[in-house]
């Protein structure tokens, strides 16, 4: 009987930890989405260039603004 009791307590604790983790994940993703939405245009341009390998490579060679304008300007 004692084993059964400690098992159910262990399971309950695991569920609570998991729920807290899921809530924290949801909160951080909402927080991140907020910041994605409110990024300044320069940051968005840099990310766009970094996510496009030819632009990312060229920006190392000739500078960000020239590379960005070549591909997206």
Give residue 70's pLDDT: 96
Residues 70, 68: Cα–Cα separation, whole Å? 5
Residue 32 within any structural domain of the chain: no
d(CA 58, CA 72): 13
Q: Averaged over 58-71, what is the pLDDT?
A: 95
- The Cα 67–Cα 55 span in angstroms is 6
pLDDT of residue 39: 76
Residue 45 lies in a domain: yes
**What distance in Å separates the CA atoms of residue 21 and residue 24, rounded to the nearest whole number?**
5
Comparing 35 with 41, the larger pLDDT belongs to 41
Q: Is the overall model pTM greater than 0.85, yes or no? A: no
At 38, give phi and psi (nearest 5°). -105, 20
Q: Is the pLDDT of residue 20 over 90?
A: no
The residue to which tokens 């603004």 are assigned: 65
In-domain check, residue 44: yes
Parent domain of 66: 39-72
| Overall number of domains in the chain | 1
Residue 55 forms part of a structural domain: yes
Q: What is the pLDDT of residue 1?
A: 52
């Amino acid at each position: 009987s004692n084993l059964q009791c400690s098992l159910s307590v262990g399971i309950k604790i695991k569920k609570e930890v998991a729920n807290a983790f899921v809530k924290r994940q949801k909160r951080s993703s909402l927080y991140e989405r907020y910041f994605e939405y409110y990024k300044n245009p320069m940051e968005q341009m840099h990310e766009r260039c970094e996510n496009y390998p030819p632009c990312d490579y060229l920006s190392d060679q000739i500078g960000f603004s020239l590379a960005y304008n070549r591909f997206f300007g």
